[in-house]
Structure 1
Amino acid sequence: MKNFDIVIIGGGPIGIACGLEAQKNGLSYVILEKGPIVNSLYNYPVNMQFFSSSEKLEIDEIPFISKEAKPRRSEALEYYRRIATSNKLHINLFEKVTSVSKYENEFSILSDKNTYKSKNIVIATGFYDIPNLLQVPGENLPKVSHYYNDPHFYSGQKLAVIGASNSSVDAALECYRKGAEVTLIIRGTEVGQRVKYWVRPDIINRIKEESIQVFYSSTVKEITKDTIVINTENGVETLPNDFVLALTGYKPNFTFLEQVGVTFSNDEKKIPTYNDETMETNVNGVYLAGVICGGMETHKWFIENSRVHAKMIISNIKKLKE
């Protein structure tokens, strides 16, 4: 049984920031990450470019130098990995937390490898693990994916991309340029307004010139082995189809939060209850950091505006310990 002042669940940029802050303040800690360092960033598309500039992705005032003003996935992986290794952070990779229990003033954190004791836990697990499902017949077919990686895979294929956000627009454009026959299916009446400002004109122009087919105000009715059936403004359309990228967003692990005892201040949006000055939840000793604070509003918190959570959390824990 290992005992720490803080157990940090999640080894993404904000989890790493919390570890750095704990280390600077002389608090014992361990970061538990179920995958590789910055697992969620690792699972981003290979060609992904951030909306934020590199200085806004910096943590602990460690310079992030990138070739372009807005860095790419590979540069971010290198940046956060070097921070973790050069600072000798205590981070256990490929170790998944399975449960958290509280006895009096101490938590017992059980993983698939060890058991830990701590008076404080920080949940910085992000939101990239659980996709928002379409809930339609055929969604479980092998040709359907809720994650996009490399456009080369779809070259020469009839590809349906579902969604109007950055991820779906990036996928549609990249796959089109690698030779896929792309159909974009959008529930709303236009391409999302939050799409990166240098990308949105590109997708609109490709739609106008009919290089990419689009169905607005449309939803998927059914997916079969060789087709995709959609509800459109003009009735039901059945299209030949080889692959489907259902990039309809993701959500935090609310079940885990509930298991820990965290309540929600807004049940519809599943916004967790926490003190916005300390980031402590309704459960004493349980803190939230990063995008998980926004519940279903995953567009509210990013690295650039949640990196301050680390200082807020560690400052409060140190104050209570003294």
Structure 2
Amino acid sequence: MLSLYIDLAIGLILTFLLLSLLVSGINEGIVRLLAIRSKFLWAYLRDTMDGADKGRAWLPAKIRDVFAVLPFSRDPRPAHSDQPAPVESTMPAAETKSGDAMTTLLYERVREIDHPKTGRTSIANIPPGRFAVAMLELAASDPGGVEGWLAKLKAMNSPLYGHLMGVWEGAQRDLDRFRQGVETWFDGEMQRLSLLYKRYVKWVMAALGLVVVLLFSVDGLQYAKTLLRDNALRTGVAAVASGDPATVAELKQKCTADVQLTDCLTETLSSPALVKIFDNAIVSLTFPAGGDPGVSWNGAVWWDRLTTPSHWPGFLLTYVALLFGASFWWDLLRRITGIKLRR
């Protein structure tokens, strides 16, 4: 009896793991296709270094606004350039305010690590040490040194001025301590940006999880019953194989009159419950004994299942399970099965 419940637990965990991996794979595909990580980074840099565009931030703080801005409207990434960083970068005149001047200058200093992607930069991560060095390179290009460079930032109304001025004063005008201070400050900003990105991904994963549950109409409660019946059937088959004919009548109930018992059992054993979980999807896959796999439209059965209230608690159970993520179910599977990873 204990092994029966262990099999049930492993079957459910494996199912939730596979569905969670499917959700994660879809999310990663969307992120890569739309370059979400790169857009998050450069939207933050434009807000921090050049300020809001006409009173509107590139990367709003509220997650609802983030969905509205990224990735469906303005692309904050600079245009890709295959040229190496220039020897010197010229700051715009103090009395001139250029909308993206500082972001453009920063890209000039880091574009050696870039490669093209639809004509825009693909840089999605700038190490804090590299950012600090880029700031020192820009300051070194100014005849007035760091203080002259900071004065130009102030004249341009760049939000970066307040941050770096505080770091410069805290470093007591020492270049090495200033570099370390800029690196520490930017590292903290990247952590804050990562938290915002995780909030964005969390909501995207929740939406994708709901779509997967509905498209595949995965009823977790019904699937648990299917697992129990599947285990009971296999136990009966083992009993028949060991010479217990009393179970034959029960097994025959699963087979039609014109199909031999051995053929029926072979088909049943080759289609475990884990495979049957996708039978109720809007598009179902069939794997016949002979011939190639086929794809068939299952819209009528899928809609009938989706609109049946008795399945809704099972849908809710599956959806809540997917919110835990693939890492949670993988860790739980390892604990139950005793799988150990090599190090």
Q: Normalization by structure 1: what TM-score?
A: 0.25
More helix by share: 2
Greater C-alpha Rg:
2
Structure number with greater CO (CA < 8 Å, separation at least 6) is 2
TM-score between the two structures when normalised by the length of structure 2: 0.24
